[in-house]
Amino acid sequence: ISIISAVAVTACVFISYDIFKVYARKMISKKLIQKAWALHFPYFSYEKYSIMAGNFYKEALKEEIPKANLEQYVLEKIIHSK
């Protein structure tokens, strides 16, 4: 019984660590994305325009817009959609 309980406790520890790791990465990624958003699109709120910008980014990839013009393309689309 002690071996089984040791295995179960160890499994619980590693599972909880993996769950924490995923949660921490999501939170840190969101903060980094919001910082980058404030740098590149300072006049548009992240909460309101992030989904639209994601859709415009997908459109830009389909239209094969060069990476050098990508930020300008998304910015123009956001402005025209207002």
> Cβ neighbours of residue 77 under 8 Å, at least 6 residues apart?
52, 56, 59
Dist. CA 26–CA 32, nearest whole Å: 10
**Rounded to whole angstroms, what are the CA distances from 60 to 30, 54, 71, 75?**
22, 10, 10, 12
Average pLDDT, the chain: 92
pLDDT at 23: 98
Please give the share of the chain, as a percent, with pLDDT higher than 90.
56
